[in-house]
A = this chain, B = another copy of it.
Amino acid sequence: MKRYLSLISFNRAIEILNSSFRDPQRTETIPVTKSSGRVIARPVFAAYSVPGENLSAMDGYAVMSRSTVGAKDQSPVIIKDFVQVNTGNIVPPGYDAVVMVEDTWDSRDGILIRKPAMQWQHIRSAGEDVKEGQLVLPAGYRVRPFDIGALVTYGITHLEVLTVNIGLIPTGSEIIPLGHRPGPGQVVESNTVMAQVYLESAGAQCTRYPIVPDDPELIAKSLKKAVSENDLVLVSAGSSAGTRDHTADVISTLGELLFHGVAVKPGKPVILGRISNKPVLGLPGYPLAAQTVIREMAGRLIQDWKLTPPPVYSVPISLAHGLVSDIGFDEFIPVSIGQVDGRYWGFPHSRGSGVQMASVRANGFVHIAPSVEGLEAGQIVDATLTTDPASTNRTILISGRYDPAIESLAEIIRENGMVLHAAKSGNAGGMIALNRHSCHGALVSLPDFSFLPHCRGITGLIPRSGLIFIHLASISQGIVSREGVSLNELSRVRFINRQKGSTTRMIFDALLEVRGVAPETIDGYRYEVTSQEALLDAVTSGMADAGICSSGAAKASGLCFVPVINEQYELAVRTESCSDPMVRTLMEAVQSLQFRAFLERAGGYDTSRTGTINAISEDLAVTEIFDTGCQD
């Protein structure tokens, strides 16, 4: 197995990238009406003065101010030399003031005025807005939509703007183009599509070449063509160290390999080469890794060449939970950012570089420096927003036990103009986040309130005051098996258990204790799986005979199900935060008819109490709250 030749630091990689190539200084001339967001290549000067002549700013008469000196109410002056003008009319040469029609009286010999005219009064003088040849925009300026109005007014029809020609080569025998449904093991090519959209937003011109299979000769042929036609070439994938990864070898053959492997996550397998003095970047195959290289390397290189990607904005955020980071590596981690109690909090997403949904769900990212080994919950870091900064004030953060029903809540909330970000952090993670005031609500999965006192693992998590619970749904939990095993029959079958710490496991253990069943009498009690899917697989395949899961999941797998207890799915919020518009929107979404209809359509949820609100007291007594439970 080949290994990366060496792993250099991210900073060193950027240095090599920016210092090894000359700015191609490529420009193109485009109509001014298409120039919004583009960077102009040379200073722009006004083609003529605006206005071109002295213009009247009022309806009235052009006069010579000298001839009005001394006019008073008691001794009006008659003006004989005047020209009638409307607003926007040219004030003829020799006249240096306009008198409003309201301030004049007709007289046989001319017009009569009762106060002197100040020189230049009511005149827009020639060149008042801009003078012929005056600098309008300096080189390097990024054109804004409303600048175009001025440019048009000043006679500028075309602009020479910066660009870069970028060739994009997708490679991979498993890759198919957009518009085809992937067969087994196939993937739709998205890295060069993403690169094109992002780099063109900075003013680059991208050419996507046809998909090349994993064949060094074909890759070499495409690369030679792309290098000859562009200022920069990106080759998607083939950059890892596997047997089908030819990009580095092809670059070495055609030119020079500057680096292969950078201490950055995601994005480690990135390649930089030089062919005919032009840069060639090898993108990793995983989309999030490719994204990092497109943004942080290709993007920075063209910024160094003075193009400008759309602006981004940074905010300091507190991390909602801790992060472990590899020392020596620069890491870019997607985060969901919102404001809770006036403070920005960010929930880091999972870091699997194959999980594109993490970046879709996130509204920003944090860049962790290579000197950092880890970050603690609550620590403040700078985050770069990937959305409208104002939208963080409309972002609702929830954390805890995830369920697909949350996606319906997200839709309902979106219709109210807000955005829901849900962190999948389990029962305990959700309660910790809520206590830390780092989220608006926590999702918890509890046993029936009546059984709650038996579940010490769960009750320990829940503060006995200051919280209210909005009921999302109840889910029937029970014994799943191929042949209809009940709770009392577990000792005669091979059981498969859920992992310690899961709600299902805590309820199961409490059930055994209440019924006086010793765990060691159950065969397979110690054999744990970490997901409901894995448990169902084990029972279906015959590895085990029975396990514990929800009725919906058991039925969807075509297995038998014997109900044992209800698990209830609750949204916990801090009572004092009920008047917060975010929290209120969240509660209203749970209580909406739309949400209930979604649960009923989806099936497997008992919605008879959906939307009811309860409080738990010190002694675990539960009170239903019939109003919204808020003191505001």
User: Quick check: B48 and A541 within 8 Å, CB to CB?
Assistant: no
Q: What CA separation (Å) do A58 and B312 show in the bound complex?
A: 36
Q: Which positions 162-187 of chain A face chain B at CB distance < 8 Å? A: 174, 178-179, 181-182, 184-187
A21 on interface, CB distance cutoff 8 Å:
no
Interface residues in A356-385 by Cβ distance below 8 A to B read 356-357, 359-360
Q: Could you tell me the distance between the alpha carbons of A186 and B181 in the complex, rounded to whole angstroms?
A: 58
Contact B242 A140 (CB under 8 A): no
Contact B36 A197 (CB under 8 A): yes
B-side contacts of A404, CB under 8 Å: 134
The listed residue (B138, B185, B312, B410) touching A135 by CB distance below 8 A is B410
Within 8 A of B (CB), among A245-302: 287, 290-291, 295
Minimum Cβ distance to chain B for residue A42 (Å): 10
Contact flag A356-B150 (CB < 8 Å), given A1-B101, A33-B196, A388-B311: yes
Q: Is the CB of A59 within 8 A of B242?
A: yes
List, in ascending order, chain B residues with CB within 8 A of A417's CB.
140
Residues of A near any B CB (own CB < 8 A): 1, 32-33, 36, 43, 47-48, 50-53, 55, 59, 66, 86-90, 94, 96, 101-102, 119-120, 124-125, 128-130, 134-142, 144-150, 152-153, 155, 157, 174, 178-179, 181-182, 184-191, 193-194, 196-198, 201, 240, 242-244, 287, 290-291, 295, 308, 310-314, 352, 354-357, 359-360, 386-391, 404, 407, 410-411, 414-415, 417, 529, 533-534, 537, 541, 543
The answer to whether B135 touches A155 (Cβ under 8 A) is no
Q: How far is the CA of A291 from the CA of B125 in the complex (A)?
A: 22
Residues of chain B contacted by A182 (CB below 8 angstroms): 48, 52, 155
Which B-chain residue is minimally distant from A57 (CB atoms)? B354
Closest chain B residue to A407 by CB distance? B135
Q: Are A129 and B357 also in contact (CB < 8 A) when A152-B188, A153-B287 are?
A: yes
- Chain B residues near A310 (CB, 8 Å)? 310
Q: With a CB–CB cut-off of 8 A, which chain B residues contact A148?
A: 190, 193-194, 197
CB contact under 8 A between A190 and B153, given known A52-B182, A128-B352, A148-B197:
yes
A2 to chain B, nearest CB (A): 11
Q: Are B139 and A155 in contact (CB under 8 A)?
A: no
Instruction: Give the docked Cα–Cα distance between A149 and B242 (Å).
Output: 24
- Which residues of chain B are near A138, meaning CB under 8 Å? 410-411, 414
**Residues on the B chain within 8 Å of A88, using CB:** 174, 185
In the complex, residue of chain B having the shortest beta-carbon distance to the beta carbon of A202: B145
